[in-house]
Amino acid sequence: MGLKVGVWNTYPTLNYNNYMFTRSGSTFEAELFHPMKVLYEECLKQDVELISLDLVKNFEDIDIFWYIDLPDPNDARIKKAFAQFKPNILFLSENEVVAPINYDKKNHDMFCRVYTFRDDLVDNVKYFKMYLGQDLPESIVTKQDFQDEKLCTLINACKLIEAPNELYSRRIQAIQWFQTYQPQDFDLYGRGWTIEQFPSFKGEVENKKDVYAKYKFCICFENSINKGYITEKIFDCFKNGIVPIYWGADNVADYIPEECFIDIRRYDTYEEIYSYLKIFDESDYNNYINAVNKFLASEQSNPFKTEYFVQWMIKELKNIPLKKYLECFDVEPKIPHYEYKEETGPLVSVIIPTYNRNRFLKKAVQSVLDQTMQDFEIIVINDGGEKLELDFNDQRIIGYDLEKNSGVSSARNEGIRLAKGKYICFLDSDDYFFKHHLKVTTNLLENSNFDLVYTDSYRATLTKEGDWYKVAERNFIYSYEYDPNLLLVQNITPTLNIIFKREKLKESGLFDENLRTYEDWDLLIRLSQCCKATHIPRVTAEYTWRNDGTTQSSSSNEFSTLLPMIYKRYTTNNVDIEDRRNMCMAQRSVRRLN
Q: In what order do the strands lie in the sheet with 262-263?
A: 186-189, 150-155, 215-221, 243-247, 262-263
- Cα atoms in the Cβ-side hemisphere of radius 13 Å centred on 74: 1
Tell me which residue of 588, 530, 536, 534 sits closest to 557, measured CA to CA.
588
Looking at residue 226, what DSSP letter applies?
A: -
pLDDT, residue 572, reads 87
Q: What percent of the chain has pLDDT over 90?
A: 64
Cα–Cα dist 322/134, whole Å = 30
Q: What is the pLDDT of residue 587?
A: 62
Q: What is the pLDDT of residues 215-260, one digit of tens each?
A: 999 999 999 998 999 999 999 999 999 999 999 999 999 999 999 9
Q: ∠ CA 266-267-272 to the nearest 5 degrees?
A: 145
Residues 445-500: tens digit of each pLDDT = 999 999 999 999 999 888 877 777 888 888 898 899 999 999 999 999 999 999 99
Assign domain 3-135+307-327 to a CATH class: alpha beta
Chain segment 89-136, per-residue pLDDT in tens: 999 999 889 888 889 887 887 788 999 999 999 999 889 999 988 889
Cβ density class 473-498: b for 16+ within 10 Å, e for less: eeeeeeeeebeeeebbbbbbbbbbbb
Distance CA 580, CA 121 (A): 36
DSSP 403: S
146-304 classified as CATH 3.40.50.11660: yes
Domain 348-556, CATH 3.30.360.10 — does that match?
Answer: no
Buried b / exposed e across 244-281, counting CB within 10 Å, b at 16+?
bbbbbbeebeebbbeebbbebeeeeebeebbeebeebe
β-strand 88-92 against 113-116: which pairing, if any? parallel
Question: If pLDDT is split at 50, 70 and 90, which confidence band does 566 have?
Answer: confident
pLDDT at residue 154 in the model? 97
Cβ-Cβ contacts under 8 Å for 173 (sequence gap 6 or more): none
Q: Where are the domains of the chain?
A: 3-135+307-327, 146-304, 348-556
pLDDT in tens, 69-84: 998 877 888 888 887 7
Q: 593 pLDDT band (50/70/90 cuts)?
A: very low
Question: CA–CA separation, 337 vs 505, rounded Å?
Answer: 8
In eight-state DSSP terms, residue 404 is: S
Helix (H) or strand (E) holding 379: strand 376-382
SS3 96: coil
Using DSSP, state whether 71 is helix, strand or coil.
coil
For the entire predicted model, the pTM comes to: 0.68
Q: Do domains 3-135+307-327 and 146-304 have the same CATH topology?
A: yes
User: Which whole number is the average pLDDT over 190-209?
Assistant: 92
